[in-house]
Chains A and B, each alone.
Chain A
Amino acid sequence: MSARLTITKTPKCYVGGAFIRSESGRVFELKDQKGEFFANVPLCSRKDLRNAVEAAAKAGPGWAKRTAFNRGQILYRVAEMIESRVEEMAEALMLGGATKVEATKEVVAAVDRIVHYAGWTDKYEAMLGSVNPVASAHFNFTVTEPMGIIGVLAPDERPLLALVSLILPAITSGNCVVALASEARPYPAILLGEMLAVSDLPGGVVNLLTGKRAELVPTFATHEHLRAISGVVNAEQRKALRLGAAESVKRVRLGKAEEAVDWEAETMQGLEEIRALVECKTTWHPVGG
C-alpha cells in the first residue's frame, strides 16, 4: 500500500465572509523556510480591492449598529478562535522566518491585543465623547461615530501582530476594514481569515487581501469609499497615499516602515488608536419646553 498523499491547502483570501481567489486568476508563489514551494497565494488586483470595499460597504451599517456589548463579545470570540490554534498560527509565522519562540510570542501577543480591544468596545465612548457645558439652554453632547471603511496596509515586520494591531482599533468602534497583508509574509493573514470565518464576526467587516503593495497603493489612495487609511508603509508610499487622500479629504494615519516599531508596546494599543479612526459629532439638543 502506498503512503497517503497529504492534501495541500489552496490559500484563499477572506472577503465578504467568503474565500476568494483573485478575479484576475493571478497567484504568487510562497516558499517555506527551506526555500521550497509552499503554496500559491492570490495576487489580488485593483478590482479585487474594489470588490472588497463593496463587501465592506454592505457589512458596515449592520456592524456599526451592533451594540457595543455585542461587538465586545464577538471580538472576544475572535481571540478564542486564535488561542485554540496558536500552534498552527505560529507555524504560519515560522514560514516567514520567525523562530518557534518568536512566532509563538507573536501569536499570543496578537490574541492578547484582540482581548484588549474586546474590552474597549463599550468603554471608549465614555472616554472620547463628552457632555459639553455650553452657555445656553442646550443639552450639548459629543459622541463618536465610526468613519466607515478603513483601508489597512500591514507591514512585513510582525505580519500577524501588526495586522491585528491595525485592524482591531478600527473594528472596535464599528468601522469595517479592507486590509492588505504583508507582501513578503502573507500566509498568517490567510490563516487569520480562516479563523475570523469561524468567529462570530459578520462577513465583510474584515476583508483580507494578499498581493503586491505597489500595485494596490494607488487604489487604496484614491478609492473614495475608503474614508481613512491606516498602515505602516515606506516614504514613497506615504506620499502617494496622502496625495490620493487629498482628492476626497480622506483621513490618513501612517507609520514609517523604515523605522523599527515595537508592536508589543503598550502604547501601540488603546484609546488613541481608536480615536484616530472615529469622527466626533456634536448635537445641540434644546432643553425645556
Chain B
Amino acid sequence: MIMARASNKTNPARELVFGDLWEYDAAPETADPKLKKRYDLFINGQFVAPKKGKYFATINPGNEVKIADIALGDAADVDAACKAAQKAFTTVWGPMPGKERGKYLYRIARLLQDHAREFAVAETMDGGKPIKESRDFDIPMAAAHFFYHAGWADKLEYLAPGRQVAPYGVVGQVIPWNFPLLMLAWKIAPALAAGNCVVLKPAETTSLTALKFGEICQEAGLPPGVVNIVSGAGETGAAVINHPLTSKVAFTGSTEVGKLIMRSLAGTEKKMTLELGGKAANIVFEDAPLDQAVEGIINGIFFNQGHVCCAGSRLLVQESVAGEVLARLKRRLATLRVGDPLDKNTDIGAINSKEQLLKITELVKGGVAEGAEMHQSECRLPAKGFYFRPTLFAKVSMSHRIAREEIFGPVLSILTFRTLEEAVEKANNTPYGLSAGVWTDKGSKILKMSTLLKAGVVWANTYNKFDPASPFGGYKESGFGREGGKQGLMDYCKVG
C-alpha cells in the first residue's frame, strides 16, 4: 500500500495531451452570418454612403480573407450623424416618456437574442475570437445589457434622490475592437436609457456587428437619429469626440488615446468617461484551491486571446506554491486548442490584426531578452491568419517591460511574493488600476485584499466575470467613470 503510493508519486500518470496524437474533427459553426458585401454608414435611421464615397476592407483575421467593404466616414459624415442625433433628441427621444424609451430597449434586447447566432458568427469572423466566446459570452451579454438598462428608463429619478436628473443630449462614443458588439451595448444601452441619443464609432477592424446593429435598430422601429453608427479610422473617432454637438463623450481604448482625448477636450466643458488600459494582478495565495485557481489564471489571461483591458496579465503567486502552480499551468497550456475561431472546440482564436500580432511579438521578444523564462504551447498554428502561441513567462521581475506594459495578447507574466503586504505592494505598483484577482480559501482575506487593492473591480476566486448590474471601470490611469449598474448609468445623466 505504502509502496504503491510511493511509486505513484515518482511515476505520475502520463498527461492526457490529445493535441497532435488524437486530432479533433473540425467542428465549424455553420450558421449564416447574413453579411452584405458592402456596409454603409447608419445615420438618421438609414444606411447611407459616406459623403466622400470611400470604403475600406474588413478582413477575417483567422484566415486573412476579405469579408466586406466598410464605409469610411469623415468629419462631414460625423457632422450629419451628430445633427441627426440632436434632432432626434429634441424632437422625439428627449420628450418621450421613460417607459416608452424602455420598451424600445427591450425590443432591441429581444431582437439581439433572435439574431444571436448570426451575430456570433459575424463577430468571430470579423474579430477572430473563438465562436464559443462570441456565442456564449459576447452576444448574450450584449442583449443582457439592453435588457437591464431598458428597465431603468422609467426609474431615473431613483438615481439621485432629491435631485433632478436629465440626459446630456448627444453622446459621442468610441469603442475598441476586443468586444465589438458588447462594448457597443455597454455604451448605447445606458445612454439611451438615460434619454440621450448617440453617435458611435466602432473600431476600424471590427465594424461589422456595429453596422449590423443598425439593422436591429431599424427592425425595432427605433426613431431615426437616436442611434447613429459612423465607421472609419482614428480621424473619424476624433471627429466624433470633438464635434461641438457631443456634450458628453465615452471612450474605451488605450490609456495613450485616452490621454489624447483628455488633451483635445481640455478647452471644452464636455463630460467624459474613459475606460482605458490595465495590467491587472491575479494574486494566488497558498491556501487557494489550486485547480480552480489554475483554471481562473488561464481564463484570466487567455480569454479572448488576452485582448482584454482587465486581463489578469500579471500572475502574483505565493512563493510556497509557485512551483506547483507553474507546473500545473504548463500542463494546462499544452491542452489549449489554438486555431480556427469558427471551430466550436477552439479555445484561443486569432489575434485581431497583424498590427497587434507584431506588437505582441515585439513585447514577447523583449521579455526573453530581459531574461524572463518563456514557456510556450507547442501547438500547431494555422498557416494563414494571425495567431500567437499562448505564452507564460516565469521569473519575471517588476522592472521587466512584460510586467509593466499592457501586452493585450495571450502572454502571462509570473511573479512571486511572500507576504500579503508584498502582494499588495506589487499589485498596486502600476499606473493602472482597472481590475485584480484574488485566490484564497479565506473570505476575510478576500475582503482585506479587496480593500487594499487600488482597482475598480476585484474578482475573488473567479476572473473576467461581467454583469450588466455590476459596475466596471478603473482607478488611476485606467480611466474614470463606470459602466454597468446604477453607477454606470449615472455617468449618462446630468444631475441638476
Q: Give A95 Cβ to nearest chain B Cβ, in Å.
A: 33
Is the beta-carbon distance between B456 and A280 smaller than 8 angstroms? yes
Nearest opposing residue in chain A for B262, CB measure: A246
Q: Give B464 Cβ to nearest chain A Cβ, in Å.
A: 10
Q: Give B323 Cβ to nearest chain A Cβ, in Å.
A: 26
Interface size class of A (residues with CB under 8 A): 35 or more
Is the beta-carbon distance between A142 and B477 smaller than 8 angstroms? no
B457 at the interface (CB under 8 A from A): yes
Is the beta-carbon distance between B477 and A249 smaller than 8 angstroms? yes
Nearest opposing residue in chain B for A134, CB measure: B467
Selected interface stretch from A8-16, A26-34, A281-289: A281-289
Which single member of A132, A245, A275, A283 contacts B262 (CB below 8 Å)? Answer: A245
Q: Give B383 Cβ to nearest chain A Cβ, in Å.
A: 39
Selected interface stretch from B5-13, B122-130, B362-370, B442-450: B442-450
Q: Give A146 Cβ to nearest chain B Cβ, in Å.
A: 11
A contact patch SS: mixed
Interface centre among A132, A235, A247, A270 (most CB of B within 10 A): A132
B19 at the interface (CB under 8 A from A): no
Is the beta-carbon distance between A271 and B160 smaller than 8 angstroms? yes
Is the beta-carbon distance between B467 and A132 smaller than 8 angstroms? yes
Is the beta-carbon distance between A248 and B470 smaller than 8 angstroms? no
Selected interface stretch from B85-93, B388-396, B478-486: B478-486
Q: Give B423 Cβ to nearest chain A Cβ, in Å.
A: 16
Nearest opposing residue in chain B for A228, CB measure: B480
Nearest opposing residue in chain A for B263, CB measure: A246
Is the beta-carbon distance between A280 and B473 smaller than 8 angstroms? yes
Give every chain A residue within 8 A of B259 (Cβ-Cβ): 246-247, 249
Give every chain B residue within 8 A of A136 (Cβ-Cβ): 465, 467
Number of residue pairs A-B, CB distance < 8 angstroms: 118
Known contacts: A142-B485, A249-B477, A286-B460. The answer to whether A134 contacts B469 by CB under 8 A is yes
Q: Annotate A271-282 by CB proximity to B: 1 below 8 A, 0 otherwise.
A: 110010001111
Give every chain A residue within 8 A of B456 (Cβ-Cβ): 279-282
Give every chain B residue within 8 A of A281 (Cβ-Cβ): 450, 455-458, 475
- What are 30 of the A-B contact pairs (CB < 8 Å)? A130-B471, A130-B487, A133-B469, A140-B467, A140-B469, A140-B470, A246-B260, A247-B259, A248-B431, A248-B477, A249-B258, A249-B479, A271-B161, A272-B160, A279-B456, A279-B475, A280-B487, A281-B450, A281-B455, A281-B457, A281-B475, A282-B485, A283-B458, A284-B458, A284-B459, A284-B470, A285-B447, A286-B446, A286-B460, A286-B461
Q: A132-B470, A140-B467 are known contacts; what are 10 more A-B pairs with Cβ within 8 Å?
A: A132-B469, A138-B465, A249-B480, A271-B162, A281-B450, A281-B475, A282-B471, A284-B457, A284-B465, A285-B447
Which A residues are within 8 Å of any B CB, using their own CB? 127-128, 130, 132-136, 138, 140, 142, 227, 235, 238-239, 242-243, 245-249, 251, 267, 270-272, 275, 279-286
Which B residues are within 8 Å of any A CB, using their own CB? 144, 160-163, 255, 258-260, 262-263, 265-267, 274, 276, 431, 443, 446-447, 450, 455-462, 465, 467, 469-473, 475-480, 482, 485-487, 490, 495-496
